[in-house]
Amino acid sequence: MLLSETAASIKNMEIRGAGRIARAAVEALADYAKNLNISDPETFKSEMQKAAGILIATRPTAVSLPNAVKSVMRALDSFGSVEEGRAAVLARAAEFIEHSEHAIERIAEIGARHISDGDVLMTHCNSEAALGCILEAHRQGKDIEVYATEVRPRGQGLLTIKTLNDAGIRTNYIVDSAVRYFINDVDLVFVGADAIAANGAVVNKIGTAQIALAAHEARTNVIVAAETYKFAPRTILGELIEIEERDPAEVLPREVAEKLPFVRVRNPAFDVTPADYIDLIVTEQGAIPPELAFTVIRDYLGWKVEELR
Ligand code: RUB
């Protein structure tokens, strides 16, 4: 796939979910480097930077995307010939993809330990990391049942229930607004993340914060499954994570909206769940309370505060 095609697929959500977005961007960057027919190292670097910028601009909230792209672009911090630069980009991209796939497996193993035989779980949206934990618990023979939300407006819940159904897991499919109605039947909420701030706040699909609020009220634990590259380094400096607001037509058909001139349709794709409403974040490095989010940024992402300024 050409870089512009990958960028378009991420933007229109054919490729979606923070982990998949990161891997697709890294693959596109590697592919671009492979085919870039340039002999001057500086021009090679600036073309690669432009490509990185195009990919990063596709979806603003999933921090996995800039984190992944930046980790590959570090290959060009210092290099000699174009061939050296190209080889370094390809090596780092392969390393990132391998790390990302391995992280999902580790998160599944660690997350499944927190699911007990007989548990009823609730999940929201379609998270590879969260579903990995649920599928692993089922694979281990634990008898589990899941409540999966519909996820207006894009309906990612359909992907989730297909996966759960294929695995033979008993699943209840509910509209987003039925969460509080069912929360007392649920033992554990398991969701993914698009970004995690230094203060442990989790950015995930719109509706997650409402679920966490209902869970908090019902004393139901909330676990977030997320690779360490979903942690947002710039939040150390107090920078906020941008929440993507998508096309209103995803919520209300344009022809209906046109007849309602006083109505403005709002369509934020994500929301922020404060750390207080999260019990545990499962990463490939282990499970941590949200209060330790800063240590993940410091210890595993290799970002230095000076670099961020
Ligand atoms: C997807 C979403 C997912 C996270 C984590 O939103 O909110 O919960 O991205 O997913 P969208 P994963 O459908 O708008 O991309 O664990 O697969 O990275």
Here the CATH number for the domain that contains residue 75 is 1.20.120.420
**Residue of minimum CA distance from atom 10 in ligand 1:** 127
Q: What was the pLDDT predicted at 207?
A: 98
pLDDT, mean over the chain: 96
Same domain, 54 and 171: no
Cβ of 194 below 6 Å from ligand 1: yes
The pLDDT score that the predictor gives to residue 257 is 97
Ligand 1 atom index nearest CA of 13: 15
Please indicate whether residue 136, judged by its CB atom, sits closer than 6 Å to ligand 1: no
From 23, 61, 134, 156, mutation site for ligand 1 pocket: most ligand atoms within 8 A of C-beta: 156
User: Is 189 found in the same domain as 72?
Assistant: no
Residue 124 CB–ligand 1 contact under 6 Å:
no
Domain, as residue range, for 282: 107-308
Annotated ligand binding at 204? The verdict is yes
Q: Give the residue-averaged pLDDT of 279-296.
A: 97
Task: Indicate whether 115 and 203 sit together in one domain.
Answer: yes
Complex-level ipTM beyond the 0.90 threshold: yes
Nearest-atom number in ligand 1 for the CA of 104 is 16
Catalytic residue among 125, 166, 176, 247: 125
Which residue type is seen at 201? A
Residue at a domain's end among 60, 81, 106:
106
- Select from 66, 85, 106 the last residue of a domain: 106
The CATH number linked to 225 is: 3.40.50.10470
195 with 241, same domain: the answer is: yes
- The band of 300, judged by pLDDT with boundaries at 50, 70 and 90, is confident
Distance from Cα 198 to the centre of ligand 1, integer Å: 19
Given a cut of 70, is residue 137 above it in pLDDT?
Answer: yes
139 and 270 inside one domain: yes
Same domain? 174 vs 267: yes
Same domain flag for 265 and 160 = yes
Closest-CA residue, ligand 1 atom 7, reads 205
- Asked whether residue 295 falls in the same domain as residue 160, the answer is yes
Q: What's the 3-state SS for the chain? A: CCHHHHHHHHHCCCCCCHHHHHHHHHHHHHHHHHHCCCCCHHHHHHHHHHHHHHHHCCCCCCCHHHHHHHHHHHHHCCCCCHHHHHHHHHHHHHHHHHHHHHHHHHHHHHHHCCCCCCCEEEECCCCHHHHHHHHHHHHCCCCCEEEEECCCCCCCHHHHHHHHHHHCCEEEEECHHHHHHHHHHCCEEEECCCEECCCCCEEEECCHHHHHHHHHHCCCEEEEECCHHHECHHHHHCCCCCCCECCHHHCCCHHHHCCCCCCCCCCECEEEECHHHCCEEEECCEEECHHHHHHHHHHHCCCCHHHHC
Percent of the chain at pLDDT exceeding 70: 97
Q: Say yes or no to pLDDT of 307 above 70.
A: no
197 marked as part of a ligand binding site: no
Q: How many domains does the chain have?
A: 2
pLDDT in tens, 189-243: 999 999 999 999 999 999 999 999 999 999 999 999 999 999 999 999 889 999 9
Task: Mark whether 163 and 244 lie in a shared domain.
Answer: yes
Please tell me the predicted confidence (pLDDT) of residue 1. 83
Please indicate, yes or no, whether residues 227 and 297 belong to a single structural domain of this protein. Answer: yes
Interval between CA 7 and ligand 1 midpoint (Å): 17
Active site residue 125: yes
For 97-111, what is each residue's pLDDT tens digit? 999 999 999 999 999
Q: Which of 106, 127, 144 is the last residue of a domain?
A: 106
Task: Check whether residue 96 and residue 180 sit in a common domain.
Answer: no
pLDDT in tens, 67-93: 999 999 999 999 999 999 999 999 999
Q: In the prediction, which pLDDT does 261 show?
A: 97
Do 94 and 132 reside in the same domain of the chain? no
